[in-house]
Structure 1
Amino acid sequence: MRGFLFISALCAATLVGHAQTKPKKAAPAPQKETTTVTNDGYNIPVTITPLKNCWVYIGCYYGKFRNVVDSAWMDENSKAVFSGKAKLPGGIYFLVSPRHTILSEFLMDDVQKFSVATDTLHPDQVVITGSAENALYQKYTSFLAKKGPELTALQNQLKDAHTAADTARIREQLTAGNKELNDYRDTLVNQNPNSMLALFLNAIKQPEPPPAPKLANGRIDSLFPARYVKEHYWDNIPLHDDRLLRTPFFDDHKLEPYLKYYVRPEPDSVIEDINYILLSSRAGKDMFKYLLGRFTDKYINPEIMGQDKVFIFLFNNYFSKGDTLWLSTKQKEYIFNRAYSLMANQIGEQAAVLDLVDTSGKPSPMYAQKAPFTFVLFWDPNCGHCKEMVPRIDSMYEAKWKAKGIKIYAVNIDEKANDAWKKYIKDNHLKGWLHVYQTKEQRDADVANGRANYRQLYDVFQTPTMYLLDDQKRIIAKKLSLEQFDEVMSAKKKTDSK
């Protein structure tokens, strides 16, 4: 089915967001009910049958999160009033039960004086009065309530089809049903182009590529559809509109698929795409803030090696330029420290100098070691994971790497454990490695001269931490599995031999 039906089974979902204000525990003092406020702010009387004498809430979506934004006391007549002096940001909101489950959804547009009536047994049968946007929204959801199950049933029938004739018949019905749904959406958008619903329907709409052209050799360009979708993915979507952020579909069903399927994993490609998104969203206060945080979380400790370069780009172009005044002191400190730790160990860059001493106290500089590859290991003899990994590294070294002239430069990060370190080396017969550590005098000299410590230069905040350097001591891999490091060496040798 083209697009995404954002009115679905959310009514049964459990609220996972955190309230912005602490929920009240006791009933408030009796007050005279009022439904009038100034022109500013919001006033939303609600009726939720059969709830009585309890606290209820309204919440909104916020990217991947759901947040409670206000609470109200429900009286013995199942009535409550949500009100505030400042208007709420636009988007899709929902009523929340005392058990923090989502009941009914509604739109929050600029007109924030309307009433909502629903029933906990039938939360989909919500009645909203006094809001033109919600009247349109209800009309659309009523259509979906009928059409959605029909299409779902056809999809299930298609899975169970046993003959080619049945498959063809069901596919034809699905095509017709999808066309009816999309035509209905298009009609709503064309008739109400300035509505919030039109904004959302345009946002969930997927680009539909025309027939693929032929290449010079006469073959159909098989990559054209994906290329077309990417080029037109954000058409008619105002990324600066904060209302899109307060929907259940923007991140999970729009942004995440784009990052997963249409952005190449190479850091430079990622940087180009997310920078376009950030620049396009900059006029939206909340959207820009959310997206910058979202991308920072994704690339500060990336799943794919080398993508921390994306975080460095974000730091240099946004964080270091003062575009993040909303961050706390602790958040700024973490981001700045993380950036400085990653800048010195980017893939393709020259490895930082390591002038350390061996087990006998003799200087053993890393750059003095000549080898086609240098495997740099930062470890601790008292680290449980290190005790598992080091023997595996030695097995790989003895079986393959030693004969190829590969050097292991192994750094003990805890000079206070030197006796345990030397004993471990001896007991496990770690021969042929370059075993080194930094003396207290060397560390003090770094501090006195304002030099960065190797822990920062190599981002050593957990053990073991591993790097692979080429013959010029450039970083070609880091923080991979042992087998992946070996594969990188093999691939590099094949590339260099061509």
Structure 2
Amino acid sequence: MIRTCSFLSLITAVAFSLHAQKGYEIQVQIKGLHDTLVILGHHFGNATSIYPDDTARLDKNGKGVFKKKKDLPGGMYVIFLPQKGTYFDIIINHEYRFSVENDTADLFANIKFKNSKENEVFYSYQRFLSAQRNQLNRLNEEYKKTSDPDEKARLRKEMEAIDKKVGATIDSIQKTYPSLFVSKFIKATRNIEVPEPPKGPDGKIDSTFQYRYFRAHYFDNFDISDPRLLRTPLYENKIMTYIEKVIPQIPDSIYPELDKLIEKSRTSPELFRYMLVTLFNYYGKSQIMGFDAVQIYLAEKYYIPEATWSDSSYINKLKDYVKKNKPLIIGAVAPDVRLVVVPSNHFIEAQKDTALRRYPHVGQFVDLHAIKSDYLVLFFWDPECGHCKKAAPQMHALTNKLKQKGVLVLAVGTVFGETGKIKWVDFINQHGLYDWINAWNPYDYEYKIKYNIESTPQIFILDRDKKIQGKRIGPEQVEEIIDMLIKRDEYLKKHPEEKK
């Protein structure tokens, strides 16, 4: 019975001890500060986003404590000193009870830790790296000043030796402390070493090898599935560099890369949300023509079905956005609409005939897809729109030049009714806009719905198959895009094997 009681007491004591250990307690002492608040915060995604987690009041001796009954997610945290407007980094990862001492005279040189191997290793490496960087800077300055080839060779060798020394130190940390987060963090800062390109059987160097190698191994040192790296200054820059500068900037090439990133982020709800929102917002704000297709892809595949953090009203708006804009992405067949084409002589005659100016029942119905040309520029405009008053004459000035390249311009006046027609006729006559195809539809606005015309002017470039090749551009960009498309067509005629 006594033994049983002792055993139960032991279980109770262990359980109480485990419960008591939950949470964190970080003792701080900062020389040069007293009777003031300091803030514990964490990095989130990048170097500028720091979010507060806790506060501590320093006493007259500069001592204080951060303490709560909940664990902190692993990552890189900061202790912010409001009085000084600065902070220093600390690593938190399973070591929830440790102490840190520092001195405002030099926060980097004077920092000390107790009971935190993560931070001891981190600052030991940082001091080593700082010393190597100073030495490298000195050698670089000497290299710039000397013109002696032998001296330059010697300096290059010394700089290469420093790089190797840093690499060897990182390798040593990985081997000695494989379970520490700081090992993973330091590895994440390491660049990929790209080997020299091999020669083929014909003796020629593969010019694409280094790019393909770099792209394939880009994340070798950076575990994007680890949510702890999200709480560092590194994560967002690593992701954005990859999608902006490493992968081909073509939607069909971007889609599978985004799938990989998102799937690897599913290790934590917070990481998944961050990844999806970051990518979704980036492509939504992009000014690159055609990248709206990427946002639509992300919306349909991930955001609408899985963004549980968004309210239903936003999701419904997003569904409506996808419905309106998916038919208009680059490469899609443009919606066929029926318009009324009005001949130029009608506008000229209407100058002297008030009844003819307002008369809406004139012209001939034409289906958009029935218009034959190598390329067709769709120009939606309104004579009362401030931007259109400038853009319409600019677009019309290109008409004859574009005709010589097999391009027609279909200028669609978005006016309605007799009053609208009068303004449309007057503007065309005032500016002599007779050389393009003038069209409208006084009977319905189906074309506005299908082309999502919520503002004017709007320009779409269609190829001979009526596939959209350009959109949401200004008149000044039209000829450049047309020339690019013509060159592409000429190239594909010579290399038909490269057609999709």
What is the TM-score with the length of structure 1 in the denominator? 0.81
Q: Tell me if the contact between 2:379 and 2:409 (Cα under 8 Å) persists in the aligned partners.
A: yes
- Distance apart, 1:81 and its partner CA: 2.7
1:195-344 equivalences under 5 Å are 195-235=180-220, 237-252=222-237, 254-320=238-304, 322-329=305-312, 331-344=314-327
- Distance apart, 1:211 and its partner CA: 4.0
Letter in 2 for 1:332: I
SS at match of 1:61: strand
Which range moves more in the overlay, 89-98 or 348-357?
348-357
2:165 to 180, 200, 224: 180
Letter in 2 for 1:67: I
Match of 2:143 in 1: 158
Match of 2:43 in 1: 61
- Distance apart, 1:353 and its partner CA: 2.4
Match of 1:74 in 2: 57
Q: Structure 1 residues 406 and 113 mapped into 2: Cα distance closer, same or farther (>3 Å)? A: same
- Distance apart, 1:106 and its partner CA: 0.4
Q: How far apart, CA to CA, are the structure 1 residues paired with 2:257 and 2:386?
A: 40
Letter in 2 for 1:407: L
Match of 1:19 in 2: none
Q: Structure 1 residues 473 and 134 mapped into 2: Cα distance closer, same or farther (>3 Å)? A: same
Q: How far apart, CA to CA, are the structure 2 residues paired with 1:361 and 1:193?
A: 80
Q: How far apart, CA to CA, are the structure 1 residues paired with 2:149 and 2:324?
A: 60
Q: Tell me if the contact between 2:23 and 2:69 (Cα under 8 Å) persists in the aligned partners.
A: yes
2:431 to 428, 432, 439: 428
Q: Tell me if the contact between 2:458 and 2:473 (Cα under 8 Å) persists in the aligned partners.
A: no
Q: Tell me if the contact between 2:200 and 2:206 (Cα under 8 Å) persists in the aligned partners.
A: yes
SS at match of 2:20: coil
State how many pairs are aligned: 450
Letter in 2 for 1:79: K
Q: How far apart, CA to CA, are the structure 1 residues paired with 2:30 and 2:457?
A: 56
> Structure 1: 5+ residue runs without aligned partners?
1-35, 447-452
SS at match of 1:430: coil
Match of 2:451 in 1: 458
SS at match of 1:158: helix
Alignment RMSD: 2.9
Q: Structure 1 residues 269 and 54 mapped into 2: Cα distance closer, same or farther (>3 Å)? A: same
> Structure 2: 5+ residue runs without aligned partners?
1-17, 343-359, 494-500
**2:403 maps to 1:406:** no
Q: How far apart, CA to CA, are the structure 2 residues paired with 1:233 and 1:176?
A: 24
> After superposition, what is the alpha-carbon deviation per residue over 1:308-339, rounded to whole angstroms, capped at 9, x for unaligned?
3322322232124x221122345434533332
- Bigger Rg, structure 1 or 2: 2
Q: Structure 1 residues 345 and 283 mapped into 2: Cα distance closer, same or farther (>3 Å)? A: same
SS at match of 2:106: coil
2:29 to 47, 65, 69: 47
Q: Structure 1 residues 403 and 235 mapped into 2: Cα distance closer, same or farther (>3 Å)? A: closer
Whichever structure has more helix as a proportion of its residues is 2
- Distance apart, 1:271 and its partner CA: 1.4
Q: How far apart, CA to CA, are the structure 2 residues paired with 1:120 and 1:438?
A: 73
- Distance apart, 1:180 and its partner CA: 1.0
Which range moves more in the overlay, 36-45 or 243-252?
36-45
- Distance apart, 1:481 and its partner CA: 4.4
Q: How far apart, CA to CA, are the structure 2 residues paired with 1:365 and 1:358?
A: 10
- Distance apart, 1:258 and its partner CA: 2.3
Q: Structure 1 residues 495 and 256 mapped into 2: Cα distance closer, same or farther (>3 Å)? A: closer
> After superposition, what is the alpha-carbon deviation per residue over 1:6-55, rounded to whole angstroms, capped at 9, x for unaligned?
xxxxxxxxxxxxxxxxxxxxxxxxxxxxxx99322222232334334443
Letter in 2 for 1:302: S
Q: Structure 1 residues 437 and 83 mapped into 2: Cα distance closer, same or farther (>3 Å)? A: farther
Q: Tell me if the contact between 1:103 and 1:120 (Cα under 8 Å) persists in the aligned partners.
A: no
Q: Structure 1 residues 112 and 380 mapped into 2: Cα distance closer, same or farther (>3 Å)? A: farther
Which range moves more in the overlay, 485-494 or 225-234?
485-494
2:473 to 457, 461, 480: 480
- Distance apart, 1:72 and its partner CA: 1.9
Q: How far apart, CA to CA, are the structure 1 residues paired with 2:147 and 2:427?
A: 65
Match of 1:27 in 2: none
1:391 to 390, 393, 407: 393
- Distance apart, 1:358 and its partner CA: 6.0
1:93-108 equivalences under 5 Å are 93-98=77-82, 101-108=85-92
Q: Structure 1 residues 414 and 115 mapped into 2: Cα distance closer, same or farther (>3 Å)? A: farther
- Distance apart, 1:393 and its partner CA: 1.0
- Distance apart, 1:344 and its partner CA: 0.6
Q: Tell me if the contact between 1:467 and 1:475 (Cα under 8 Å) persists in the aligned partners.
A: yes
Q: Structure 1 residues 240 and 54 mapped into 2: Cα distance closer, same or farther (>3 Å)? A: same
1:367 to 366, 369, 384: 369
Q: Tell me if the contact between 1:44 and 1:81 (Cα under 8 Å) persists in the aligned partners.
A: yes
Q: How far apart, CA to CA, are the structure 2 residues paired with 1:423 and 1:329?
A: 47
- Distance apart, 1:263 and its partner CA: 0.6
- Percent identity over paired residues: 28
Q: How far apart, CA to CA, are the structure 2 residues paired with 1:67 and 1:316?
A: 31
Letter in 2 for 1:39: Q
Letter in 1 for 2:214: V
SS at match of 1:318: helix
